Structure 1
């Protein structure tokens, strides 16, 4: 006899961000595992617009949303500086939490949220989509097969063109800046491919003279195994979303590492001395895979399971970059 399917999990959304409206909520509403119940934002008007668009209820106040007994989990997509505060309130209200990346503005915030979730046996996930894409599994398989030989270098970049002047990512008070917005992606990729124990060996940040906001940067990491990582990120570049693993026999490049659309067929480029192999992989929806894993974690009862150590490790690297970086002011 087939076991009955689990009922859809009831989700509330705090924040009416662009990523929520463009990607997360449309995906949620198309999944049988989830039922979007209500949304709350910084203004009642914006919440009402999102509620009408996605066919759910609107709450004038995020606190009222957290008090609802018909919500199992909360998706937090507020400005970065408010991620920790609202995720903490949701956990204390007994809700499982999916919070936009980064999980906080520093490692201390990450540690406190992870500890609270573990103590209350609630699922806590950070909305890094790319680690859920199968293309990275294939990369690790090729490395394990010895196709690259002995890895010696890792290079990654996530860069985007300048944003509109009024974009909140240019607001220091709201946790803006390139390091927390795009820099965390190559840092997370380095941790994914090189493992724990990474150390910052050097860093440079281009900062806005008026308020110190970081616009772009470069970071050099060292792994315990001796692999060096060179990372670039910023709001001042033509678009790039890539990483390369380089060994003594070959190098392997992921051409669309962080933001492949659901229908995109990933391309891996394997370059040997006298030969190039281009591997086209099946398309995958990395956000849907993340939301499926989060739903499974909620059904399991949350607790200490999950990638909490990676969330903390990335923000420890962010703290180290801030502490050691040479800053170059631009006007």
Structure 2
């Protein structure tokens, strides 16, 4: 395939597809052909609301269409493996919503199936493609802070009312760790070359909604060379900015408002020369950046913002954090 324009199918009548992905696809000139949902009524209503020409409950019929190049899977997390494997059988390329799956077994099977079939599997981790995070990685790799010693991630936000459904329940994939901590890992893994060793964490149920799963968590994760990473993730904090800090022997990077869905944020570098802001130039929509990289990878040019392997690595960190909250022990990342 040589074109940058893709024809998409959606599996899952999701909020993220309607509010972020479909607008980004259309802004780039991509075509969204149709949607599949478990509910015929929901599929039809979603198609009407989002101006989609085709709605169905038959996933195989949708992904088997000749006018589909790629499929965006944003069904609930426990359905990802089943839906991704259906797309693999159809020989189409896949962009899967994070977390890649609810278990490492399922996620590994998905990555392996796509590799065997020779189709592209990418994960909708939008943050690594942001100009802010690309610049932070460049600064660290260029030696701006010397040897990294510690990373701090602030990703405590308020969960919007429209999303206060299954994320607060007790089902597979619920809770702040699989929803947000995996995003933290998608950023920190490439920053530190992806060698996470173990994690210890403590979670709580802080919100007023009677959540059946954790809605706040603090974790400490050890990476290779004894780099320590601290994360605070929550659905319960309405007024704090998000941010990421990298502290090394020769300097510190302090980035604010960078753990968001929007192309905002500021980076400050502090070292012996003083404190200065780092100039940023690319303020494109983060999902358009992700889709551009995906389309380029489909053409055989470059790699996605987050590959299937990247999604697997992020999930491994999140699962170690989740296990630690349940056992009270340090848990290996595996």
Tell me, in whole angstroms, the C-alpha distance in 2 between the residues paired with 1:316 and 1:11.
29
2:107 counterpart residue number = 110
Query: Which region of structure 1 is more displaced relative to structure 2, 271-280 or 58-67?
Result: 271-280
1:23-34 aligned at under 5 Å gives the runs 23-32=20-29, 34=30
Q: How far 1:109 moved relative to its partner?
A: 1.5
Query: Which region of structure 1 is more displaced relative to structure 2, 316-325 or 191-200?
Result: 316-325
Tell me, in whole angstroms, the C-alpha distance in 2 between the residues paired with 1:183 and 1:177.
10
1:138-153 aligned at under 5 Å gives the runs 138-153=135-150
CA contact (8 A) 1:121 1:304 kept: no
Gaps of 5+ in 1: none
1:134 counterpart residue number = 131
Tell me, in whole angstroms, the C-alpha distance in 2 between the residues paired with 1:114 and 1:5.
24
Query: Which region of structure 1 is more displaced relative to structure 2, 37-46 or 129-138?
Result: 37-46
Q: How far 1:146 moved relative to its partner?
A: 2.9
Gaps of 5+ in 2: 329-334
Tell me, in whole angstroms, the C-alpha distance in 2 between the residues paired with 1:196 and 1:247.
17
For the pair 1:298 / 2:298, whether they are aligned, the reply is yes
Q: How far 1:240 moved relative to its partner?
A: 3.8
Q: Secondary structure at the match of 2:270?
A: strand
Q: How far 1:74 moved relative to its partner?
A: 0.8
CA contact (8 A) 2:290 2:305 kept: no
Query: Which region of structure 1 is more displaced relative to structure 2, 61-70 or 118-127?
Result: 61-70
For the pair 1:39 / 2:27, whether they are aligned, the reply is no
Q: 1:61 aligns with which of 52, 57, 60?
A: 57
What is the TM-score of this pair, normalised by structure 2? 0.86
Query: Which region of structure 1 is more displaced relative to structure 2, 123-132 or 157-166?
Result: 157-166
Matched residue pairs, number? Answer: 322
What is the TM-score of this pair, normalised by structure 1? 0.87
| RMSD of aligned Cα (Å) | 2.9
Q: How far 1:37 moved relative to its partner?
A: 1.0
Tell me, in whole angstroms, the C-alpha distance in 1 between the residues paired with 2:41 and 2:203.
38
1:1-331 aligned at under 5 Å gives the runs 6=3, 8-32=5-29, 34-63=30-59, 64-164=61-161, 166-207=164-205, 213-238=213-238, 239-262=240-263, 264=264, 266-272=265-271, 275-282=274-281, 283-300=283-300, 307-325=307-325
Q: How far 1:105 moved relative to its partner?
A: 0.9
